[in-house]
């Protein structure tokens, strides 16, 4: 069998050439990094959990009309996706203060923000993904005004969906990061949700106890990361071990 071609390798995922033009295979690794890859480790099982969780969120978003790159899950660690041209911006939505906004504006972690705040960071590891303003984005041509409007609209729809899904299982969505890709259809281009949605790129807090169920467990050495992600997957009913159909008949007595 021919060895498939690796197209890109990032910190947590690998992209391989897909079976058809315009598709890619996205492989979820177990590697965890934080603080611009200064802290790194291999967390057994993380890739499997993130593959399942990202499938779950992307499928739900597709179902409510948010366009995504997700086509189908192939196996425990891989999913088939549409090839896109990634917009070089990280789009962050915040509902509660944490991380860099807490530091930057002197807010106590957990403070509810007046409304969801959308921020953009330039995707550039060497520069530490600096926060950029719309003015920079347009002046340097990273995205147009129309792109920005579309990115904010997608980000806010993802926020409403994810906040609701998480609230339903007793989890507060403090913030998250998404990436957006461009696809070309004839003479037109449009923007779709790309990359992944997983606890690697969200802040998730248990509503009752405040327990962190996201990558901060790794960043701040708060315990076992796989346990935290497994808890999220368990509450959402998407654990790999839950793969049996939920319609399976149950015998009573
Ligand atoms: P932020 O508080 O800006 O940075 P940090 O995670 O370094 O404290 O991050 C806000 C949210 O976006 C948080 O859930 C982590 C996520 N994020 C990423 O996943 N990758 C990134 O490169 C950035 C900048 C943020």
Tens-digit pLDDT profile for residues 16-64: 999 999 999 999 999 999 998 999 999 999 999 999 999 999 999 999 9
CA of 194 to the centre of ligand 1 (A): 16
CA of 71 to the centre of ligand 1 (A): 26
> Could you tell me which CATH number the domain at 85-206 has?
3.30.470.20
Q: Which atom of ligand 1 is nearest to the CA of 129?
A: 24
Q: Ligand 1, atom 11: nearest CA belongs to which residue?
A: 176
DSSP character string of 14-28: EEEE-SSTTEEEEEE
* 185-204 pLDDT, tens digit each: 999 999 999 999 999 999 99
Average pLDDT, the chain: 94
Q: Which CATH superfamily is domain 6-83+225-251 in?
A: Phosphorylase Kinase; domain 1 (3.30.200.20)
For residues 175 and 203, the answer to whether their CB atoms sit within 8 Å is yes
Regarding the beta carbon of 120 and ligand 1, being less than 6 Å apart is answered no
Asked if pLDDT for residue 125 goes beyond 60, the answer is yes
pLDDT, residue 77, reads 98
Q: Which atom of ligand 1 is nearest to the CA of 176?
A: 14
Residue 180: partners with Cβ closer than 8 Å, 6 or more residues away: 86, 87, 89, 91, 151, 154, 191, 192, 193, 194
Kind of pairing, strands 23-28 and 13-17? antiparallel
Separation between Cα atoms, residue 91 and residue 87, nearest integer Å: 10
CA of 170 to the centre of ligand 1 (A): 22
Asked if pLDDT for residue 250 goes beyond 80, the answer is no
CA of 123 to the centre of ligand 1 (A): 11
CA of 201 to the centre of ligand 1 (A): 6
Asked if pLDDT for residue 240 goes beyond 80, the answer is no
Asked if pLDDT for residue 11 goes beyond 80, the answer is yes
Domain ranges of the chain: 6-83+225-251, 85-206
CA 52 and chain centroid, separation? 12
CA of 242 to the centre of ligand 1 (A): 30
Q: From residue 65, how far is each of 5, 98, 186 by CA, in Å?
A: 32, 29, 21
Separation between Cα atoms, residue 44 and residue 7, nearest integer Å: 24
Tokens representing 168 are: 């339903």
Q: Which atom of ligand 1 is nearest to the CA of 123?
A: 22
Asked if pLDDT for residue 130 goes beyond 90, the answer is yes
Pocket test for ligand 1, best of 39, 87, 92, 197 (most atoms within 8 A of CB): 92
Structure confidence at residue 4 as a pLDDT band (50, 70, 90): confident
Separation between Cα atoms, residue 199 and residue 177, nearest integer Å: 10
Mean pLDDT across the stretch 218-232? Answer: 97
Pocket test for ligand 1, best of 177, 197, 198, 203 (most atoms within 8 A of CB): 177
pLDDT, residue 2, reads 67
pTM above 0.85, yes or no: yes
Separation between Cα atoms, residue 94 and residue 105, nearest integer Å: 13
Regarding the beta carbon of 92 and ligand 1, being less than 6 Å apart is answered yes
Regarding the beta carbon of 90 and ligand 1, being less than 6 Å apart is answered yes
Separation between Cα atoms, residue 180 and residue 192, nearest integer Å: 6
């Amino acid at each position: 069998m021919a060895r498939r071609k690796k197209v890109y390798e990032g910190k947590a995922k690998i992209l391989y050439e897909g079976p058809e033009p315009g598709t890619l295979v996205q492989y979820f690794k177990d590697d965890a990094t934080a603080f611009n890859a200064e802290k790194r480790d291999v967390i057994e099982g993380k890739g499997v959990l993130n593959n399942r969780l990202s499938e779950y969120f992307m499928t739900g978003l597709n179902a409510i009309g948010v366009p995504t790159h997700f086509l189908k899950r192939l196996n425990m660690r891989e999913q088939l996706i549409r090839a896109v041209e990634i917009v070089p911006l990280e789009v962050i939505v915040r509902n509660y203060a944490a991380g860099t906004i807490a530091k930057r504006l002197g807010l106590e972690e957990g403070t509810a923000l007046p409304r969801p705040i959308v921020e953009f960071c330039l995707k550039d590891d060497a520069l530490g993904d600096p926060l950029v303003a719309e003015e920079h984005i347009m002046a340097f041509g990273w995205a147009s005004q129309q792109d920005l409007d579309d990115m904010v609209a997608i980000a806010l729809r993802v926020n409403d969906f994810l906040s609701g899904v998480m609230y339903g299982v007793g989890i507060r969505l403090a913030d998250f990061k998404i990436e957006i890709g461009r696809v070309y259809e004839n003479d037109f281009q449009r923007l779709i949700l790309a990359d992944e949605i997983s606890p690697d790129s969200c802040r998730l807090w248990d509503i009752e106890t405040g327990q962190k169920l996201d990558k901060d467990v790794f960043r701040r050495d708060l315990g076992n990361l796989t346990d935290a992600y497994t808890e999220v997957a368990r509450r959402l009913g998407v654990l790999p071990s839950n793969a049996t159909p939920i319609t399976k008949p149950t015998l009573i007595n």
